[in-house]
Chain A
Amino acid sequence: AQSVTQLGSHVSVSEGALVLLRCNYSSSVPPYLFWYVQYPNQGLQLLLKYTSAATLVKGINGFEAEFKKSETSFHLTKPSAHMSDAAEYFCAVAFGNEKLTFGTGTRLTIIP
C-alpha cells in the first residue's frame, strides 16, 4: 500500500538549532512529495515540493528537503530555527494523480 509516515508527533528545538523533521513514504511508483506548514488558525501553506527534478529542494522561510530514494525519505531541515517556525508540519505524497495523502503531522516547538 502507498503511504506516508512522519516520525515524531512533537519535536522541540532551541532557537538557532538545527530543525529536522522526518518523513518516509511507501510507494511502488515514483512519488511527488510535499511539505506543508500550518500556523495556528491558518490554512495549510506549501513549503516545498519534489517533482523528480533536483533531489535537494529549497522552499520558503529557509527550509529545504532532500529526496533519498534508497531510504524512501524526504526529511525537512532548516539550519537555524526561529521562533516564528513554531507550527505544525505535514508531509504529503501524491502517487500519479491529484490526490494528496498526508502524514499525521509534527508539531514543532521552538525553545527560546
Chain B
Amino acid sequence: GAGVSQSPRYKVAKRGQDVALRCDPISGHVSLFWYQQALGQGPEFLTYFQNEAQLDKSGLPSDRFFAERPEGSVSTLKIQRTQQEDSAVYLCASSSTSGQAIITNTGELFFGEGSRLTVL
C-alpha cells in the first residue's frame, strides 16, 4: 500500500485478555517504530526495529508488552493480560532510513492511523 497500515483500527478487550496489533509499514522501509498515545497526551516511544532487529525496547512499559518483526516487514505488538491503563492509541511509524538519519535533513517518519485499544 501507499502508506503505513494498522489493524485493527479499534479493539475492545476485557481486562486480562491478550491482544495483538498489526503494522504494515511502507514497502521497503527499514525502520519501524511503535508509539503509545494515551488520551490527551502526546505519543510516547515504545520500541524501534531496524529490519528484523529490535534495537531499542526501552519504552515498553512492562513485560506484558512484546513486539516482533520477524521478516523485517510486518510488525506485531502483543499485549498480554491487558489492564485498563493499557487503553490508548497505538501508533506505528516507518522510515526508509535508519538511526540518526531518520531525524536529519532527508529523513522522515510516516505514521499510520493507529489502533485504538479500549480495555474494559
Contact = CB atoms under 8 A, between A and B. Distances in A.
A90 B42 contact: yes
Given A41-B113, A43-B4, A90 B43 contact: yes
Contact of B103 (A51, A53, A102): A51
B72 to A, nearest CB: 17
Tell me whether chain A's interface is mostly helix, strand or loop, or mixed: loop
B109 A100 contact: yes
Interface in B64-108: 91, 93, 98-100, 102-105, 108
Contact of B111 (A41, A44, A49, A103): A44
Contacts of A32: 103-104
Contact of A46 (B41, B99, B109): B109
A72 interface: no
Given A98-B48, A99-B56, A102-B42, A43 B114 contact: yes
A36 B59 CA distance: 21
Interface of B: 3-4, 31, 33, 35, 40-45, 48, 56, 59, 91, 93, 98-100, 102-105, 108-114
Interface of A: 9, 32, 34, 36, 41-46, 49, 51, 53, 90, 92, 94, 96-105
